[in-house]
Structure 1
Amino acid sequence: MSESVITTSGLTKRFGRVVAVDHVDLDVPTGVRFGLLGPNGSGKTTLVRMLLGLVHATSGSATVLGEPVPRRAAAVLPQVGALVEGPAAWGHLSGRANLRLLDAAGPGGRRRDRRRRVDEALDRVGLAGIDRRPVKAYSLGMRQRLGIAAALLRAPRLLLLDEPTNGLDPRGIHEMRDLLVALNATGTTVVLSSHLLTEVEALCTRVGIMDAGRLVLADDLASLRAPTGRIRVRTPAPDAALALLDGRVEVRDHDLLTVRGDDPAELNALLVGAGVPVTAIDRERRSLEDVVLDVTGSGNDRFEGQARR
């Protein structure tokens, strides 16, 4: 079992009568890409803010990088890069000037290396050619990239990102995904909160699902997307396949059949051996959307992802 970078026990936050985070027990192992998934208002951002010591818990406890927060936040935060609720910046200054000020305000790091750190962070997020325009003239996507650059200034052990692809176009989303995978490969644990099903499924290796302030599920994505015990077969001769499989077909959608079974190779051999052509065959797996809808009770349209079929 790998060491954990984040642990919480019974972590709860109330705002008056509203319970924003409700007795959350969370464990994030070192080295994962963890997606904290939930609809807007599910408590994701409040939980992240508590992990950063920005909001104090009503009850329960949390540790980050082995230290209790918020009590030891000053020791922890220099090792954490964060982007929460959108990037903050001085709008009248350029992006590069913003990063220099943020770097100067942070603990540690030699002044003579500041230009290199700033340039490397800008290059990593695709803003290497940034000009002297003030940040107030930036697009939302550029602001988002700048916020992530700020989170990368000190080569953090842990990245905590809230909706990191907000405002990015499809190419920018792909580039950000590649960046986070590359950072993770060099040892940085990545934790991101999002309501985008497809982004979490494409990027993360482990997923936690929140609903109404509760953590209702946390598991490896590979385990969540286990085979269903069905095989999908595409054939130009569906009638012949139906007759041969004798009741094993559960769903027919034109030339696509869903068949009870666990071994695609065995099924393919049976069909081809009987003269039924097969153009595609694979195991059916649960999508992350299927999992979310199962554990949150109903299809909540505050999640964004591919439409169910």
Structure 2
Amino acid sequence: MITTRDLTKRFGRTVAVDGVDLHVREGDRYGLLGPNGSGKTTLVRMLLGLVFATRGEIEVLGQPVPKRVREVLPSIGAMVEGPGAYPNLSGRTNLALFDAAGPGGSRRDRRKRVDEALERVGLAGIDRRPVRAYSLGMRQRLGLAGALLRTPRLLILDEPTNGLDPRGIREIRDLLAELNGEGATVFLSSHLLAEVDALCTRVGVMDRGRLVVQDELDDLRTPTGRVTVGTPTPERALALLDGRVENHQGQFLTVRHDDPGTLNAELVAAGVTVTALAVERRTLEQVVLDATTTSADRVEAGR
């Protein structure tokens, strides 16, 4: 669905995107992570033909971008750098204008498309208030509604849950999973680890313009070499595993061990009842922290 090769963008002496080889497959729920200033939004804008690359190649839905971007835009739903809207007009009117200006789509069915998009994002009861009176969360929902007007094959979303409360984030996440289940490929950029962790199956991590990680999320969660053991007799387990227990809370112990099967056999052979056994795996936060250098918002003294 999306492929880039050596994709690079310079603004003067600043390298915003540096040699990125991106691979988003059909049916993916792909999350692009990275701190503010890591190049995520610039990359997204290049995918949509809004910014021209300094070097490299882009292919979206089998077509080169920006050369043939007009051919693929009708199949793409996008929201970049927050929703754009005329502040003095209502949300419905904004969507109708957006639909009229976009490629493809019948005027006869416009009202139906607008109503269905508003329903899907939780704005079915929207009134005639101007957009300037909307909360940030309502504006974000309106932008997502605009991305859904044409039943897209590919969704490209930049920070889609920005400004939403926890319930709203859950609703949008469930909606994106539902759309993916209906056949849409989802590509979103975010700096929110929990958002990507809960939704995405494939992850890329940007750091200072470079794509430093790209893999299946399950494959990135590698074992840490620790096992969590549950037992009603933790004192006996502590005595047996002396020196290998890193943490003990109630009936649960965190044990340094590479093989949970061998550990279980050792405990059972010593007469220790085991009620739970789980391999500890790296969190997405650990993956990102290991792959990136520093926060883009950090300012050291003397700079």
TM interval, shorter chain, is over 0.9
Match of 1:63 in 2: 59
1:113 maps onto 2:109 in alignment: yes
Counterpart code for 2:287: V
Listed one character per residue, the Cα deviations across residues 132-186 of structure 1 (whole Å, up to 9, x for unaligned) are 1111100000000000000000011110000000010000000000000000011
Counterpart code for 2:255: V
2:254 to 258, 275, 289: 258
SS in 1 for 2:21: strand
Match of 2:96 in 1: 100
The 5 Å alignment of 1:137-152 reads 137-152=133-148
Query: Following the alignment from structure 1 to structure 2, what is the Cα–Cα distance between the partners of residues 302 and 286?
Result: 25
The 5 Å alignment of 1:118-197 reads 118-197=114-193
Counterpart code for 2:224: T
Listed one character per residue, the Cα deviations across residues 264-305 of structure 1 (whole Å, up to 9, x for unaligned) are 46644653564545554311011011111111145x3869xx
Match of 1:26 in 2: 22
Query: Following the alignment from structure 2 to structure 1, what is the Cα–Cα distance between the partners of residues 44 and 236?
Result: 55
Match of 2:13 in 1: 17
Structure 2 length-normalised TM: 0.92
**Aligned residue-pair number:** 297
Contiguous gaps of at least 5 residues in structure 1:
304-309
Match of 2:204 in 1: 208
Q: Is this contact kept in 2: 1:252–1:258, CA < 8 A?
A: yes
Counterpart code for 1:108: G
Q: CA deviation at 1:235?
A: 4.0
Q: More displaced, 251-260 or 187-196?
A: 251-260
Query: Following the alignment from structure 2 to structure 1, what is the Cα–Cα distance between the partners of residues 33 and 41?
Result: 11
Listed one character per residue, the Cα deviations across residues 213-238 of structure 1 (whole Å, up to 9, x for unaligned) are 00001000010012233211244543
Query: Following the alignment from structure 1 to structure 2, what is the Cα–Cα distance between the partners of residues 123 and 23?
Result: 40
1:242 to 233, 238, 241: 238
Q: CA RMSD in A?
A: 1.9
Aligned-pair identity (%): 70
Q: CA deviation at 1:106?
A: 1.3
1:282 maps onto 2:266 in alignment: no
1:87 maps onto 2:83 in alignment: yes
Counterpart code for 2:246: V
Contiguous gaps of at least 5 residues in structure 2:
299-303
Structure 1 length-normalised TM: 0.90
Match of 1:48 in 2: 44
Query: Following the alignment from structure 2 to structure 1, what is the Cα–Cα distance between the partners of residues 213 and 260?
Result: 30
Distance 1:302 1:204, change over 3 A: farther
Match of 2:301 in 1: none
2:71 to 56, 64, 75: 75
Match of 1:232 in 2: 228
